[in-house]
Amino acid sequence: MTEQPIGVMDSGLGGLSVWQALIQCLPEENFIYLGDSGFCPYGSKSAAEILPRVTHIVDFLEEKGCKAIVVACNAITAASIDFLRQHYPIPFIGMEPAIKPASVHTRTRAVGVLATERTLQGRLFATTRSKYAQGIRVVAIAGNGLVEQVEVLDFDGDATMDLLRRYLRPMLTENIDHLVLGCTHYPFLAASIRRIVGDGVCIVNPAPAVARHTLSVLEQMQIRHPPNGSVGRSIFYTTGDTEKMKHMLSFIQAADREVTPVRL
């Protein structure tokens, strides 16, 4: 059981930011990544549209023998994590908007959240906000169009920078000192975001916390690969353009990986 891979799923390339954190935290584990770039973006779609896609992806990962699945997508987590936990026997680790750490550390009492529509409309966002951000001004803005820019690997072109300025300026006007990245595609825009917000704003990427949580779930369930100095293997699948995923992998210094196309 411990040798079995961990599935990592996303609407596209964004979940690779979570995979990076996972291999740091759990280097000995094997991973199977599936990005549904052929149907991306999810963030503007309804839960009813997302759910059948998610079911296909999870069935695929289960057939590959995954012992656990990291839902490396805030929109999928918002739309379907309860459903997945009810219908499949393996553990699911979801994304959570990192409002808690941002609210604990803010000095200006104002935090920004950049996420997709689907995530901002979800119950998880509402409950996390009311639980951890009492008395804090939460400036939540939907980053419409940003996922598409990341999918075409445009991290800092004019169109991307224009969108980022449009979404981030109102947050700066509200004097935020923390910016929560509520979409796993957005860490690839971190350098561009930094250029706009300057050094005074802490950019919070929840991926390392999700990786630590994955570790604790595996330990709790006694399915963690023993950390014995070995290095696990990662396999990548996409429903979209394999070349784009390869480019993204080379951007994150994982250039030598094979990407296999899949139809779901």
Shortest distance, position 124 Cβ to ligand DGL, whole Å: 12
Q: By the criterion CB under 6 A, which residues form the site for ligand DGL? A: 10-12, 14, 40-43, 73-75, 116, 119, 147, 183-185
Q: Find the catalytic residue in 40, 66, 183, 202.
A: 183
Shortest distance, position 200 Cβ to ligand DGL, whole Å: 25
Q: Which of 113, 255, 87, 138 is nearest to 193 (CA)?
A: 113
Q: How far apart are CA 167 and CA 195, in angstroms?
A: 14
202: annotated active-site residue: no
**Which of 69, 223 has the CB closer to ligand DGL?**
69
66: annotated active-site residue: no
Q: Find the catalytic residue in 25, 40, 73, 202.
A: 73
Q: How far apart are CA 236 and CA 37, in angstroms?
A: 12
Q: How far apart are CA 236 and CA 222, in angstroms?
A: 26
Shortest distance, position 174 Cβ to ligand DGL, whole Å: 23
Q: How far apart are CA 78 and CA 148, in angstroms?
A: 19
Shortest distance, position 204 Cβ to ligand DGL, whole Å: 14
Of all residues in the shown chain, the one whose CB is closest to ligand DGL is 43
**Which of 115, 197 has the CB closer to ligand DGL?**
115
**Which of 10, 96 has the CB closer to ligand DGL?**
10
**Which of 14, 91 has the CB closer to ligand DGL?**
14
**Which of 12, 112 has the CB closer to ligand DGL?**
12
Shortest distance, position 122 Cβ to ligand DGL, whole Å: 10
Q: What tokens appear for 223 in the block?
A: 């399915």
| Residues carrying an active site annotation | 73, 183
